Structure 1
């Protein structure tokens, strides 16, 4: 069995994209996958599947969600990928120990180092490609930043979903 992490984009933000986590667990279980756990209310799930292809897992889950009335991007990572991210620690953690100031953007499609390096970044904030993801640092808090998910998607050329470091570390621990 393979362990996967599903990170759903734009779930339970305001009144759009409503999806109770109990329903997400039902959908994942209905696909024949097991050991389903969800974290918080923002579309994070860890589960096991005999499927060996993460892209197939993503497409199956996205199709099931669409059939349930929710059309959103699904970023799938292997449990090993998340465990390795957690073990490595956030690249900006040495400069800021507040996990809410540290985010990870998970792109749908791979993004080149040069693309991230060329992205305009507001003063004091930082972004760098890191193990296929994008490490972000918001020293003044995410809510005050102009480096939004929409900004990231526009400059990276692919949908992304972001999670704070506390969430990433918790998911990584579940996968370790």
Structure 2
């Protein structure tokens, strides 16, 4: 049995991409997933599956969501990947322990470290590739930043979804 984490992009934000988490649990269960749990209202789920291919799981979830009228990207990570990321820790946490200032961007397709390093970053903010994801530091808060998801996607060349460090560690704990 494999543990997966589904991170849905742009769900329940600003009145668009509405998807109740009870419905997401039903969708995943309907796809054969077990032990389905959702976290918050922003499209985070941890579940088990007999399927060994994360890309296959992602496409099945995305197709099921399309059937619900919701066309959004689905970033799937294994439980081991998320647990390893949490174990490594956020590279900027020593400088700023506030988990709301620490985010992780999960790209749909892998991004090279050189691409992340070449990305224009607003003053005081930082980005670093960690285990295939992008650790972000927003010392003045995410809401005040110009380093938005759209900015990240444009410069990284792939869709991304972001989660704050508290969400990442909570999901990782469910994977252990």
- TM above 0.5: yes
Q: CA RMSD in A?
A: 0.4
C-alpha separation between the residues in 1 aligned to 2:15 and 2:125? 29
Residue 29 of structure 1, CA deviation: 0.2
Runs of 4+ in 1 over 3 A off after TM superposition: none
User: Which residue matches 2:112?
Assistant: 112
Structure 1 residues 5-44: aligned runs within 5 Å: 5-44=5-44
Number of aligned residue pairs: 176
- Displacement after TM superposition at 1:53 (Å): 0.3
Q: Structure 2, unaligned stretches of length 5 or more?
A: none
CA shift for structure 1 position 150: 0.1
Q: Distance in 1 between matches of 2:3 and 2:40?
A: 19
**Cα deviation, residue 88, structure 1:** 1.3
Structure 1 range deviating more: 83-92 or 97-106 = 83-92
Describe the superposition over 1:124-167 as per-residue Cα deviations: whole angstroms up to 9, x where unpaired: 00001110000000000000000000000000000000000000
TM-score, with normalisation over the residues of structure 1? 0.99
The Cα of 1:44 is off from its aligned counterpart by: 0.1
Question: TM-score, length-normalised on structure 2?
Answer: 0.99
Which residues of structure 1 form unaligned runs of 5+?
A: none
Matches within 5 A, 1:27-176: 27-176=27-176
